[in-house]
Every structure is written in C-alpha cells, then in structure tokens.
C-alpha cells in the first residue's frame, strides 16, 4: 500500500465512518468568520485549536499525520488546516472575493459556511470522492479569463496528466493580483511519475509525484511563487539539518528536501507554536505553493 493510500486509511479509521458518510460528514452548524492572519499571540490557550472552525480542546482525533489529526467539530484533517492557515496568512479578507475551491475534502456544511463568508464555489471533476456545485476539468476550465480572485486546489494536480496545461488554465482564469494556493504531496526533490502504478484511496490514478522543481515550473507559467512551510522545516533548510535515518517515513525524501531546498524560495506561515497547536506534525508533510498572478 502506498504512503498516500495508507494516510487516507488513517483518516477513515479515526472518523469511523464509511466513505459516503465521510464525504457528507462536515456538520451543517460550522460557522466561519471573516479571516485575519494568525500570530502566536492570537493562538488560544489550548493544546489543540482548529483554524477552520475555531474549535479548541485537548487533542485532535487520530495520529500526528497530514491525513489524520481530525478536528472533532468540522472534521478537518491536518492538511486541511494547513491550507486554510495559508489562506488566512496570505490573502487579505474581502467579502466580495471570488473563491473557487477544487475538490474540497470537507463536505456540505463547510461549503455552505464558505458561501456565507465570500463569493465561493466548489468544483469537482470525477465526483468519486468529493462533491461540488460544478464539474470542471483542470486542463480545460470552462471559466472566463480573469474571473477568479482566489483558487484553492489541494491534492488535485498530481491526478492531472498534463501539468503545464493545468497551470496555464489556472493562470488564465485568475484576475491580476489573484492568488493560487496549490497543495500536493511533496515527497521528493524532483518531479517524476510513480515508479509503479499508484492510486489514491478513491481509485484516482496518480500521474506525478511532484518535487521542489514545481516552484520553477510555476514561475515559468508567469506566477510569482513561494513555497509555504512550517517554521521547523524552514529552520532545517537554513541550517541544513536533516533528520536521522529511520526517524521519518521512508517514502519521503526528507534529507533531500532539507538539503536541496532554497531558503529564498520558502515562506513560513506556521510558527512552531501555531504548528503545534493546530496539529501540523510531522513537520515534513506540510507545504503549499503560494502563487500570485502579476
């Protein structure tokens, strides 16, 4: 079983629900407030705090992993909270923002709450795992030029055969000054197809395992790009401090990421305190590209 498939099994085990129930499980009472950046001073005095729904408590459900550490209220997992934190830190809030989220992992309650917050629409293509209001093909978006302020796409691009076509479409539909927050599993330094056929838990084929070189690829499409990370990952890159062998997942080239990443390409969005409180552990599983259309 691949790293990603095993990670998704962690999530389902923690929630103890079927796949169909999981898709629809986000409670309808979730309330999302206008967002502001999160500082150490703004973090509440709690061992666990969800930046999506603002729940606080003693701990998240499950284990420390990007695909686990489940919020008991909104059922976000750790990577959901990292993407949401990136939105809070990098995009100034305006009620009129046009936000398109592709294949949102959270369900109807979250989507309804987002629509009360901004001009929000959710999309999906194959609808095997996620649900949205519209079906959009990332390689050929049925949207006007310069029609979206914020694009959120998490763990989608690795399932798209033609990366350059998808990035060109994302650039086309963004308004000047618009933001793309792009999240994919970052398991290695150089992008390559899987060595063996790989499928995520919903049987979606994985065409690409992306590496640090995605930064330059995004810039070649015209985006101003930085890689958003936690403070610990950034500190390790700056000091070139790789973790000891055997202390991290064998499928993630943590030593390569730490030794090859350019500190100038990294931006910290989660201090050690914020990361600890919001469940962003282990440190090497959290990264997202922040891309702005000039």
Encode pLDDT of 159-170 as tens digits.
Answer: 999 999 999 999
**What pLDDT, on a 0 to 100 scale, did the predictor assign at position 125?**
64
The pLDDT of residue 1 is 43
- pLDDT bin (cut points 50, 70, 90) of residue 18 is very low
Residue 148 corresponds to which tokens in the numbers above?
């979206």
Q: What phi and psi values does residue 182 have, to the nearest 5 degrees?
A: -115, 125
Q: List own/partner pairs for 136-142 with CB under 8 A and 24 or more apart.
A: 136/102, 138/102, 138/166, 138/169, 138/170, 139/165, 139/166, 139/169, 140/165, 140/169, 141/169, 141/170, 141/172, 141/173
- Encode pLDDT of 190-229 as tens digits: 999 998 887 776 677 899 999 999 999 999 999 999 999 9
Q: Cα 98 vs. chain centroid, distance in angstroms?
A: 19
Beta bridge partners of 98: 119
The residue that leads in pLDDT, 26 or 236, is: 236
- Contact of 233 with 284, CB cutoff 8 Å: yes
Mean pLDDT over residues 34-48, rounded?
90
pLDDT of residue 15 exceeding 60: no
Prior bond to 219 cis, omega within 30?
no
| pLDDT beyond 80 at 16 | no
Residues 68-103 pLDDT 10s: 999 999 999 999 999 999 999 999 999 999 999 998
- Residue 54 burial by CB count (10 A; 0-12/13-18/19+): exposed, middle or buried? middle
**Rounded CA Rg of the chain:** 18
Query: In this structure, how many other beta carbons lie within 10 angstroms of the beta carbon of residue 152?
Result: 25
Q: Is 240 left (phi over 0), alpha (psi -120 to 50) or beta?
A: left
User: Does residue 133 have a pLDDT over 70?
Assistant: no
pTM (two decimals): 0.89
pLDDT attached to residue 277: 96
Q: What's phi and psi for 115, nearest 5 deg? A: -65, -25
Higher pLDDT, 248 or 14: 248
Which domains occur in the chain, in start order?
Answer: 3-292 (3.40.50)
């Amino acid at each position: 079983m691949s790293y990603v498939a095993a990670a998704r099994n962690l999530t389902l085990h923690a929630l103890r629900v079927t796949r169909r129930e999981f898709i629809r499980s986000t409670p309808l009472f979730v309330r999302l407030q206008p967002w502001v950046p999160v500082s150490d001073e703004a973090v509440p005095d709690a061992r666990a705090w969800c930046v999506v729904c603002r729940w606080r408590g003693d701990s998240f459900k499950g284990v420390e992993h990007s695909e686990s550490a489940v919020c008991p209220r909104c059922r976000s997992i750790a990577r959901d909270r990292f993407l949401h934190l990136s939105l809070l830190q990098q995009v100034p809030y305006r009620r009129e923002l046009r936000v398109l989220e592709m294949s949102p992992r959270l369900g109807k309650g979250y989507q309804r709450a987002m629509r009360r917050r901004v001009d929000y629409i959710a999309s999906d293509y194959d609808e095997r795992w996620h649900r949205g209001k519209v079906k959009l093909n990332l390689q050929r978006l049925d949207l006007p030029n310069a029609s979206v302020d914020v694009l959120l796409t998490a763990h989608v691009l690795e399932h798209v055969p033609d990366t350059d076509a998808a990035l060109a479409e994302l650039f086309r539909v963004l308004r000047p000054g618009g933001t793309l927050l792009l999240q994919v599993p970052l398991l290695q330094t150089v992008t390559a197809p899987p060595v063996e056929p790989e499928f995520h838990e919903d049987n979606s084929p994985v065409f690409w395992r992306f590496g640090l070189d995605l930064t330059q690829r995004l810039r070649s499409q015209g985006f101003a790009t930085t890689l958003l990370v936690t403070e610990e990952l950034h500190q390790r890159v700056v000091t070139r401090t790789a973790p000891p062998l055997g202390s991290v997942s064998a499928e993630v080239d943590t030593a390569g990421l730490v030794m090859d990443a350019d500190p100038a390409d990294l931006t910290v969005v989660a201090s050690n305190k914020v990361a600890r409180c919001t469940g962003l552990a282990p440190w090497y599983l959290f990264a997202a590209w922040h891309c702005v259309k000039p």
